[in-house]
Amino acid sequence: MPPSTPRSASPAPVLLKLAIIALVLLIFASAFGYAGGWLGSRGLTGSAMVDALQANADPHPGFRRNHAKGICVSGYFEGNGDGARLSSAEFFTATRAQVVGRLALAGGDPYVADDSVPVRSLALQLRLPDGQEWRTGMNDIPGFPVSTPQAFQELTEASHPDPQTGKPRPDAMKAFQARYPEAAAFGERLKASPRSSSFANDTYNGINAFVFVAADHRRHRVRWSMEPELPFAPRTAAAAEPAARDALFDDLLTRLDQGPLHWHLIVTVAAAGDASDRAAEPWPADRERIDVGRLTLTGASSEPQGSCRDIVYDPLVLPSGIEASDDPLLSARSSAYAVSYRRRAGEPPGDSAINDRKAGSAP
Amino acid sequence: MKLHARFRPLARLLHWSMAVLIIAMLFIGAGMIGGAPERYSALLRVHKSIGITILLLAAIRLVYRLLHPAPALPADLPRLQRAAAFASQVLLYALMFALPMVGWAMLSAEGYPILIYGGLQLPPLMHADAMWYAHLRSLHSLLGYLLFFTVLLHLGAALFHGLIRRDGVLSSMASLRRP
Ligand code: HEM
Ligand code: HEM
Ligand code: HEM
């Protein structure tokens, strides 16, 4: 340390030093502003994705920004032990996990007519007595149109209705599909896949890839689906009648009053060379498929009375033994679901289309 | 009048290691919200672990600070600057506790399992409650930005002491020598 003197430094160096200090602070603040995206956009963000979803429907405060129309379901999941070879997650051994789930329709309109929505979903929160949790959101579509958050954003934007007429814009969708041929291919697959008559006889696909980690630390890339015990029955023309607005939900409630519904969790294991980071790319049909356990839904209650409304079915809430894959959609989903929840949690809950209804042994 | 006393080595070690962690956390937090959604989940994972680490270090640091008071400021430091130095230190300590506590509480209110260090599950601090989540989530942002501006001022003040007043306050914390 030099001896203490120069408090009497000449004015010029003091100004220079003040300028240096100001510059240091400015650089520090700018770096922070850049990181947070406040100094101009750094590209796509989770909140931009939710903004785009929101723009596709009228505002519906208190509802999910996607899959807005839904109902709470409850029951349990029992592993049959066959999954233990692939993953050390306790959900695959005989312990019974409690389930709070949600059956829903894609899109931001909580009052939409059931038959007009091409995508139905099943979301599940599975919980073990020791507090371990596994959440998953599955759709009843054969794969996914896109593989990256950016492409999903462009898809959402291409789905914006014409601001003048309120009608879809087929040319925007065509332009999108020209840029993303995998989306056009998915569209063909979707058209070719028959739609079922009920939530109860539908198959729900996890779509994104995950990694199962076995007790011996071996890693297996997988996708999973919930396949119904009820045989497939095709949707009927009556479903399109205006009176059938809530028919899928009415049907579910009626069925659950008659008894529980069952699905099997089918795990498909990737082979070397199958892409785990491209959701739009189906794996060949001959991949190994393992039935790892049975889901039983015993009851349902409409959202205001049920306990699913405030659950975020974030696909990255995973137990030990299951990990995220390199699929970039997973992180984007986590981010967007958190944004959606932050918005709806701060709003008073809206009036659900299905209200004051209960069936089976509801929680 | 120049200060020759220094903070004890452990106080300096805690100060600088926590300064690195806290500044990193501010950037990770801002970056996971304002940056690419592909990187969100990896950033949030380290955010939670580092955040709880900061909470633990802050507790150790506060106890150590109460046992070993800071060296006195230069006697000729104006009253206002003295008060500002004291207030900013209190605020910095408060935020070192408040940010991780609010982060932990808000994930509890969201009903999320809180996993840190690759598998350790923390108990929830409160029951799941949507409205509480909304408020705590906003509070976490607000306190984060407040912490950023306080650190900015603190950095400015430290440079002011070191470059302009040259009164030994900067080296009381920024020296490698023993007290
Ligand atoms: C990056 C692409 C995606 C974005 C931005 C996105 C966005 C959203 C948002 C904002 C919600 C509402 C969340 C809430 O408020 O709790 C939601 C719900 C949902 N998403 Fe996605 N999603 C994406 C991809 C997918 C994929 C690939 C699947 C396929 C399995 C999927 C399945 C679901 C399901 C099942 C729900 C409803 C969960 C419930 O009932 O609460 N999403 N999505
Ligand atoms: C010193 C400690 C911490 C600092 C400085 C800090 C800072 C931040 C900042 C700046 C943000 C971004 C806010 C925004 O732009 O809206 C943020 C978000 C967040 N932080 Fe922290 N944080 C800390 C500790 C924690 C802890 C301990 C947890 C949880 C255990 C946590 C969980 C979160 C979560 C979940 C988000 C928001 C994620 C989302 O809404 O998508 N933080 N934090
Ligand atoms: C996140 C960042 C930082 C935090 C939270 C922080 C916090 C603190 C706190 C609480 C004190 C009081 C002493 C103690 O109890 O440890 C202190 C003192 C000090 N800090 Fe920092 N600090 C940060 C960054 C910095 C930086 C970047 C510098 C310098 C370039 C700096 C320079 C100093 C100096 C010189 C002191 C001694 C001041 C005195 O005796 O009043 N700090 N800091």
pLDDT of residue A11: 67
Structure tokens at A66: 């996607």
Residue A268: give its domain's CATH number. Answer: 2.40.180.10
Beta strand segments in A5-95, E = 69-79
Q: Which of residues 33-62 of A touch B (CB under 8 A)?
A: 35-38, 42-47, 49
Name the residue with the closest Cα to ligand 3, atom 41: B85
Q: Is residue B3 part of a domain?
A: no
- Give A36's contacts (C-beta < 8 A, 6+ positions apart): B30, B31, B33, B34
Best mutation target, A127, A310, A330, A334, to test chain B (most B CBs within 10 A): A310
What is the pTM assigned to this prediction? 0.95
Which ligand number lies closest to the CA of residue A73?
1
pLDDT of residue A221: 98
Plot region of B3 (φ>0 → left; ψ -120 to 50 → alpha; else → beta) = beta
For residue A67, indicate whether it is catalytic.
Answer: yes
Cβ contacts from A onto B, under 8 A: 126
pLDDT of residue B178: 64
Q: Is residue B148 part of a domain?
A: yes
Plot region of B8 (φ>0 → left; ψ -120 to 50 → alpha; else → beta) = beta
**Over the stretch B35-87, which tens digit does the pLDDT of each residue have?**
999 999 999 999 999 999 999 999 999 999 999 999 999 999 999 999 999 99
pLDDT of residue A5: 45
CA A340 to ligand 1 center in whole angstroms: 10
Q: Which of A121, A115, A111 is nearest to A60 (CA)?
A: A111
**Over the stretch B66-79, which tens digit does the pLDDT of each residue have?**
999 999 999 999 99
Confirm if A257 and A358 have CB atoms less than 8 A apart: no
Q: Is residue A152 part of a domain?
A: no
- How far apart CA B113 and CA B163 sit, in angstroms, is 48
Q: Is residue B4 part of a domain?
A: no
Range of the domain at B71: 9-174
Q: Is residue A301 part of a domain?
A: yes
- How far apart CA A344 and CA A110 sit, in angstroms, is 13
User: Which residues of chain A are modeled with pLDDT < 70?
Assistant: 1-12, 362-363
Q: Is residue A354 part of a domain?
A: no
Q: Is residue A97 part of a domain?
A: yes
pLDDT of residue A363: 54
Facing A28 at nearest CB: one of B152, B160, B165: B152
Q: Is residue B179 part of a domain?
A: no
Q: Do B34 and A1 touch (CB under 8 A)?
A: no
The mean per-residue pLDDT over the stretch B132-141 comes to: 98
Q: Is residue A235 part of a domain?
A: yes
Confidence of residue B1 (pLDDT cuts 50, 70, 90): low
Q: Is residue B2 part of a domain?
A: no
Task: Count CB-CB contacts under 10 A for residue A130.
Answer: 10
Q: Is residue A332 part of a domain?
A: no
If residue B49 lies in a helix (H) or strand (E), which one and from where to where?
helix B40-67
Task: Evaluate if residue B5 carries a pLDDT over 90.
Answer: no
Range of the domain at A206: 69-141+195-326
User: For chain A, how many structural domains are there in total?
Assistant: 1
> For ligand 3, is residue B157 a contact (CB within 6 Å)?
no
Which ligand number lies closest to the CA of residue A337?
1
Query: What residue in A sits closest to B137 (Cα-Cα)?
Result: A342
> For ligand 1, is residue A146 a contact (CB within 6 Å)?
no
**Over the stretch A207-266, which tens digit does the pLDDT of each residue have?**
999 999 999 999 999 999 999 999 999 999 999 999 999 999 999 999 999 999 999 999
Q: Which of A109, A112, A173, A103 is nearest to A145 (CA)?
A: A173
Residue B66: give its domain's CATH number. Answer: 1.20.950.20
* CA A37 to chain CA centroid, nearest Å: 25
User: For chain B, how many structural domains are there in total?
Assistant: 1
**More confident of the two residues A7 and B168:** B168
> For ligand 1, is residue A186 a contact (CB within 6 Å)?
no
3-state helix, strand, coil in chain A (%, to 5): 30, 25, 45
Q: Do B44 and A334 touch (CB under 8 A)?
A: yes
Task: Evaluate if residue B92 carries a pLDDT over 80.
Answer: yes
Our CA-based measurement puts residue B90 at a distance from the nearest CA of chain A, in whole angstroms, of 22
Output the CA–CA distances (angstroms, integers) from residue A185 to A96, A158, B77, B169, in the order listed: 39, 17, 73, 67
pLDDT of residue A10: 62
Of the residues A67, A160, A262, A264, only one is catalytic, namely: A67
DSSP state of A123: E
- How far apart CA A84 and CA B96 sit, in angstroms, is 43
**Over the stretch B138-153, which tens digit does the pLDDT of each residue have?**
999 999 999 999 999 9
